[in-house]
A and B are shown apart, each in its own frame.
Chain A
Amino acid sequence: MKSNVLFIGAFAVILTILGVTQGSKLSQSDFGQKGTFKIKPAEASWHYLLAIGPLGSLSTFKIVEQGKKTIILPKGNLSTCTKDKAEDILC
């Protein structure tokens, strides 16, 4: 029983860390910044599918796509918008 608990607990922690890191990586750290997303569906390679599954990948695309419509302020000062992003971001 005790070894079962340790085994299951360790797996739960490892797989959660994997899910968080891979999900964040798939989003290319560009959450919510209007129109600046680098992610493309073609990038949904097998390791993302394995890590966060089809629904996790689709959800990440949805978040990224919706970010183009919804202005979610990025962390920090808006004046830090760089010129190359200015075409797509309402700074």
Chain B
Amino acid sequence: MPPDAEALAEADIEAVAEQVFVALADPSRRAILAALASGGPATATDLADRLPITRQAIAKHLALLAEVGLVTPEPGERRRVRYRLRSAPMQVAQQFLAALARDWDGPLGALKDHLDRSAHGPATTPHPSRPGAT
């Protein structure tokens, strides 16, 4: 990739991750996204029935989420707009979390112990740790 495209890509990926985290910082939006993830596409009215949030507030949040591309509006029954979760931005944010969740210190400590053990005596039960687990 040429440097310009790379810089642009980095700006893009940061912007996408930021939008996801901003959206998730609000408990109402978190509840709406969680409802769409678990129950599938829904209208503002469907969501108002399921969540302790007014229909008006839900409509406002959905408009904001649609604007940043976290949900997609699509035609539903009786000319009501249904909203569907877009997973692509979530996966970008997940990449960011994957970097934060990666634990190399645990495995490197285990490597050190393993080498010391095998040098100084019989092997004992190792304590492996999965990278990414904390």
Partners in one complex: no
